[in-house]
């Protein structure tokens, strides 16, 4: 697996004299002093990185004092100039120095506070507080400059490479890995962002993983590895035939909710470090993950599809993690500290399970985010890995959040084939509403929470159009498109430009004038392509698929004896199977909700009365709850309605705008 390039990171490590190898941390006259020539190992825990070993020789009270050197791929650049930065009674100064180290270096190693006897360091500096004798103890915190050759650490992890061993029927394992259907939109967005971006997504009920990569497909994990550590702890408990222990939970809670690094190190060591984590990830079927070497859990290397598979072992029933542990893990990821609730939470917003990680190295910032949104009707798992040699952490967070909004808007229909959110005409993540009055096309901008603005004119020349609708993204560029039927029966496709406008139309069908009504049904059959439905004079519902290029394709009859139905609106969300459902309006003005089986509509639940056929529309998800909503026009106003499971409708807003035909 390729490793990140030339990553050498110099940071400031704060440790204490007691951590530097004095016997027991507190010297006592009766204790045997360690041999000054015998190296001892002490460790410090560093943010997002893991446990760092240092080699110590000498004693504070011995000849030459204490000397510190790096161990393995770690070097101490100023071993002959170790400095005392805090003594007894100087805790505020130590805290200020530590805070400055965080601000200037971006990476902090946690000091270990231990009391020790007075003595001297390698540079002759004496450790003693005023009025103390040599036998009295003192708090001494040492500042040591340490350089990490993280490339060497990553290379040293080669023996930990995961070998996929998941059963073929593991519902949370790998399926096909394909490009996003709206890859051009993601490419356009990520091209404008600094550095590498790797994204992956999978919807509930699907095995297919959608992936997009700009630059490197792999990245160091930093703290997102804590999800893998949590899974390994759970696997250990299950293999031992027990529930999670109180101690394991006491470490897991701060590790996930607050990204506690010391707790992570304790659990990493508890399960058996990288080899043990790799064995569990192998059970899950991960293919491109190398657990970190020794104590360096933050230098695990992974890919976005692997992280989606990992998260799905918490979101889906599977053979590796039992349901009790899955639910517990998700509960922790849903309750992370507010200052860490960013990244892939953008788009779905609240109530998403998330874990983030960030690590500054000599080659720039590595910022990652993984999570699971269970918002119906399309729950999904998502991962975003970023790295930039020039942009800071906040910029990389913004990159992840922008990509997350695009994925949220284009999330899957539930069958595994994404379809862009219908009705978001300017790409701001909110559905809008189109209408025609006279020869003018108007738009009512979505404002969130189910509200839309007053109408603004877009273009003229629509007098010859007798029906308009938006089935979703026809062209595959990530933007919703418009289909219109002219009075001569021609069916025209107007691609959206993502900026509230429409591109030049092309004809995609002829002789559609004989249909009594048409409906932009969304994805009726769940195959990932947008569809249209029309009713002919015989009362048959006829299904047409809209390919990315070419003409509309007739797919067959999906309903009979619909003569009493004078209008149909395609909406997704009457149930949660991901296929587009429908609201039908009969000649008597009664409105009924139907669900799609992929081959026909079933059910007939009364959801409204007094409706006027041909004045209804499905503009998309107006209030952001994951269900597409409904709008209808009367002689004097336009009303918007929230769709509930089962087809129930509640009024969202009424706008004083009469005499319009809505986009259906």
pLDDT in tens, 531-545: 999 999 999 999 999
In a domain, 82, yes or no: no
Residues 354 and 208 in one domain: yes
In a domain, 569, yes or no: yes
The SS3 of residue 13 is strand
Residues 404 and 470 in one domain: no
Report DSSP letters for 304-349, one per residue: HHHHHHHHHHHHS--SSS-HHHHHHHHHHHTT--GGG--STTTTT-
In a domain, 163, yes or no: no
CB 579 within 8 A of CB 472: no
pLDDT for residue 63: 60
In a domain, 103, yes or no: no
Please enumerate in sequence order all residues whose Cβ is within 8 A of that of 295, keeping only pairs 6 or more positions apart, or say none: 43, 50, 51, 52, 53, 265, 268, 269, 273
The enclosing H or E element of 586 equals strand 580-586
Distance CA 68, CA 309 (A): 42
Confidence of residue 478 (pLDDT cuts 50, 70, 90): low
pLDDT for residue 439: 87
Q: Is the pLDDT of residue 253 over 90?
A: yes
Q: Is the pLDDT of residue 29 over 60?
A: no
Residues 340 and 458 in one domain: no
Please, what is the Cα angle at 54 between 48 and 59, to 5 degrees?
140
pLDDT for residue 430: 72
Residues 304 and 334 in one domain: yes
Distance CA 574, CA 134 (A): 79
CATH code: domain of residue 399: 3.40.710.10
Q: What is the mean pLDDT of residues 380-397?
A: 95
Task: Please write the tens of the pLDDT for every residue from 104-131.
Answer: 334 556 543 333 444 444 444 444 444 4
Distance CA 28, CA 36 (A): 16
Give this prediction's pTM: 0.62
Task: Please write the tens of the pLDDT for every residue from 589-610.
Answer: 898 989 899 899 998 899 888 8
Cα–Cα distances (Å) from 493 to 2, 466, 496, 570, 576, in that order, read 45, 14, 9, 18, 29
Choose from 227-236, 293-302, 417-426, 644-653 the range with maximum mean pLDDT: 227-236
Confidence of residue 315 (pLDDT cuts 50, 70, 90): very high
Mean pLDDT of the chain: 79
CATH code: domain of residue 625: 2.120.10.30
Residues 189 and 296 in one domain: yes
Residues 592 and 485 in one domain: yes
Residues 472 and 407 in one domain: no
pLDDT for residue 360: 85
Residues 342 and 193 in one domain: yes
Residues 370 and 460 in one domain: no
In a domain, 41, yes or no: no
Where is pLDDT greater, at 336 or 405?
336
Q: Is the pLDDT of residue 133 over 70?
A: no
In a domain, 36, yes or no: no
pLDDT for residue 8: 35
Domains: count for the chain: 2
pLDDT for residue 142: 52
Least confident interval from 155-169, 352-366, 506-520 = 155-169
Distance CA 208, CA 579 (A): 17
Residues 304 and 408 in one domain: yes
Q: Is the pLDDT of residue 38 over 90?
A: no
Least confident interval from 290-294, 379-383, 413-417, 655-659 = 413-417
Q: Is the pLDDT of residue 643 over 60?
A: yes
Question: Which segments of 222-322 does DSSP mark as H helices, in order?
Answer: 225-239, 246-257, 261-271, 273-284, 304-315
pLDDT for residue 71: 74
pLDDT for residue 552: 94
pLDDT for residue 28: 27
In a domain, 244, yes or no: yes
Where is pLDDT greater, at 661 or 197?
197
Q: Is the pLDDT of residue 500 over 80?
A: no
Percent of the chain's residues with pLDDT above 90: 38
Please enumerate in sequence order all residues whose Cβ is within 8 A of that of 344, keeping only pairs 6 or more positions apart, or say none: 352, 354, 369, 370, 371, 373, 382, 383, 384, 400, 404
pLDDT for residue 324: 97
Cβ-based neighbour number of residue 592 at 10 Å: 18
Domain of residue 652: give its range: 433-662
Three-state secondary structure string covering 439-470: CEEEEEEEEECCEEEEEEEEECCCCCEEEEEE
Residues 648 and 509 in one domain: yes
In a domain, 497, yes or no: yes
Please, what is the Cα angle at 444 between 350 and 617, to 5 degrees?
85
Please, what is the Cα angle at 239 between 237 and 240, to 5 degrees?
65
Q: What residues pair up with 212 in beta bridges, in sequence order?
A: 199
Helices vs strands, H then E, count in the chain: 10, 40
Residues 406 and 437 in one domain: no
């Amino acid at each position: 697996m390729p490793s990140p390039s030339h990553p050498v990171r110099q940071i400031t490590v704060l440790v204490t004299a007691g951590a530097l190898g004095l016997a027991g941390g507190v010297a006592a006259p009766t204790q045997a002093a360690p041999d000054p020539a015998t190296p001892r190992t002490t460790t410090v825990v560093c943010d997002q990185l893991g446990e760092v070993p240092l080699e110590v020789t000498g004693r504070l009270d011995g000849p030459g004092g204490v000397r510190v050197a790096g161990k393995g791929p770690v070097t101490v650049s100023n071993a002959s100039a170790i400095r005392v930065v805090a003594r007894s009674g100087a805790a505020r100064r130590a805290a200020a120095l530590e805070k400055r180290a965080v601000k200037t270096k971006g990476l902090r190693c946690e000091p270990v506070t231990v009391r020790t006897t007075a003595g001297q360091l390698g540079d002759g500096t004496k450790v003693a507080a005023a009025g103390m004798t040599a036998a009295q103890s003192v708090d001494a915190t040492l500042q040591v400059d340490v350089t990490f050759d993280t490339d060497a650490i990553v290379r040293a992890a080669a023996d930990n490479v995961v070998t996929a061993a998941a059963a073929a029927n593991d519902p949370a394992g790998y399926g096909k890995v394909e490009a996003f259907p709206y890859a051009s939109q993601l490419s356009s967005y990520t091209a404008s962002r600094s550095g590498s971006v790797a994204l992956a997504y999978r919807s509930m009920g699907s095995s297919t993983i959608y992936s997009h990569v700009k630059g490197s497909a792999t990245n160091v994990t930093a703290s997102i590895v804590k999800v893998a550590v949590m899974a390994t702890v759970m696997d250990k408990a299950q293999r031992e035939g027990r529930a999670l222990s109180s101690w394991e939970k006491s470490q897991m809670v701060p590790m996930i909710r607050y990204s506690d690094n010391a707790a992570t190190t304790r659990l990493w060591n508890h399960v058996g470090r990288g080899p043990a984590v790799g064995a569990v990830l192998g059970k899950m079927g991960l293919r491109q993950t190398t657990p970190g070497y020794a104590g360096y859990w933050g230098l695990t290397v992974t890919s976005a599809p692997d992280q989606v598979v990992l998260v799905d072992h918490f979101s889906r029933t599977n053979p590796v993690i039992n349901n009790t542990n899955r639910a517990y893990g998700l509960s922790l990821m849903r309750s992370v500290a507010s200052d860490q609730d960013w990244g892939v939470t953008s788009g779905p917003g609240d109530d998403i399970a998330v874990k983030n990680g960030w690590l500054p190295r000599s080659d720039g910032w590595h910022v990652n985010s993984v999570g699971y949104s269970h918002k119906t009707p399309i729950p999904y798992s998502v991962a975003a890995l970023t790295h930039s040699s020039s942009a800071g952490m906040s910029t990389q967070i913004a990159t992840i959040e922008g990509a997350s909004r695009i994925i949220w808007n284009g999330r899957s229909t539930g069958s595994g084939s994404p379809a862009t959110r219908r009705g978001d005409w300017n790409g701001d993540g909110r559905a809008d509403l189109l209408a025609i009055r006279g020869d003018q096309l108007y738009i009512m901008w979505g404002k969130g929470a189910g509200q839309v603005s007053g109408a603004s004119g877009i273009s003229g020349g629509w007098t010859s159009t007798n029906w308009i609708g938006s089935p979703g993204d026809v062209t595959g560029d990530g933007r919703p498109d418009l289909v219109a039927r002219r009075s001569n029966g021609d069916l025209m496709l107007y691609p959206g430009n993502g900026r509230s406008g429409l591109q030049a139309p092309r004809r995609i069908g002829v002789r559609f004038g004989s249909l009594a009504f048409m409906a932009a049904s969304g994805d009726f059959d769940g195959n990932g392509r947008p569809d249209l439905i029309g009713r002919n004079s015989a009362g048959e519902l006829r299904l047409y698929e809209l390919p990315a290029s070419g003409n509309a394709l007739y797919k067959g009859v999906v309903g009979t004896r619909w003569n009493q139905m004078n209008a149909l609106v395609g909406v997704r969300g009457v149930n949660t199977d991901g296929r587009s459902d429908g609201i039908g309006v009969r000649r008597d003005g009664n409105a009924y909700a139907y669900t799609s089986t992929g081959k026909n509509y079933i059910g007939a639940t009364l959801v409204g009365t007094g409706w006027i056929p041909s004045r209804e529309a499905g503009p998309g998800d107006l209030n952001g709850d994951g269900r597409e909503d409904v709008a209808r026009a009367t002689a004097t106003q336009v009303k918007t309605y929230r769709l509930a499971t089962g087809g129930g409708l509640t009024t969202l807003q009424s706008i004083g705008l009469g005499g319009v035909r809505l986009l259906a």
